[in-house]
């Protein structure tokens, strides 16, 4: 199963359409089923299962069970994919297509692409290329998210007021 999620803030019809098209191509060699969280998107998918929203448990269990997680370039999903040890492909929303307030998700692809277990796509072609090579996609090297250094620094600041 491939899980797709676009976040809670906006729809992302373009990504849902890409997935709806990809799932019936020959590139889908494993005949993977696609389940998508589409927010309030109005694209009528023909070949994939769509839900507007889902609760946290269901959402996380889909990420955990998926062979790959396809997501808008949101950092929350990158964190979840790392913790649940599923490779993630992120595709950026485009401001000029009205998909977000600005183009920060495009900037995001640059640093996100350097993280292990994270694959980036800014076009349909790039997305399909990753999906066609699904077996090559790797999970993050660790499921740990967080920084002891940062936590300790904050804790000491709260207790003592000193930096």
Residue 53 touching other proteins (CB under 8 A): yes
φ and ψ of 3, to 5 deg? -105, 135
Beta strand ranges found along the chain (DSSP E)? 2-5, 34-37, 49-51, 68-72, 88-91, 118-121
Q: What is the number of other CB atoms lying within 10 angstroms of the CB of residue 7?
A: 17
List the interface residues with other proteins, window 63-122 (CB under 8 A): 74-80, 82, 101, 104, 107-108, 110-111, 115
Residue 72 bridge partners (DSSP): 91
Residue 52 touching other proteins (CB under 8 A): no
Q: Find the binder of other proteins among 14, 33, 50, 60 (CB under 8 A).
A: 60
First-to-final CA distance of the chain: 47
Q: Find the binder of other proteins among 8, 47, 141, 143 (CB under 8 A).
A: 8
The residue ranges that bind other proteins (CB under 8 A) are: 7-9, 53, 55-57, 60, 74-80, 82, 101, 104, 107-108, 110-111, 115, 145-151, 153-155, 157-159, 161, 163
């Amino acid at each position: 199963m491939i899980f797709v999620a676009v976040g809670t803030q906006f729809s992302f019809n373009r990504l849902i359409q890409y997935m709806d098209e990809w799932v019936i191509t020959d590139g889908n060699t494993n005949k993977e089923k696609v389940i998508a969280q589409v927010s309030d998107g109005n694209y009528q998918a023909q070949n994939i299962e769509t839900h507007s929203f889902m609760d946290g448990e269901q959402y996380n269990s889909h990420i955990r069970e998926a062979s790959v997680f396809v997501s808008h370039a949101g950092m929350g999903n990158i964190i979840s994919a790392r913790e649940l040890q599923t490779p993630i492909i992120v595709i950026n929303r485009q401001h000029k297509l009205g998909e977000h307030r600005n183009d920060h998700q495009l900037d995001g692809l640059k640093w996100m692409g350097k993280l292990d277990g994270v694959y980036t796509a800014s076009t349909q072609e790039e997305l399909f290329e990753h999906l066609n090579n699904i077996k090559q996609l790797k999970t993050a090297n660790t499921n740990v998210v967080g920084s002891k250094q940062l936590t300790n620094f904050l804790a000491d600041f709260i207790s003592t007021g000193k930096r």
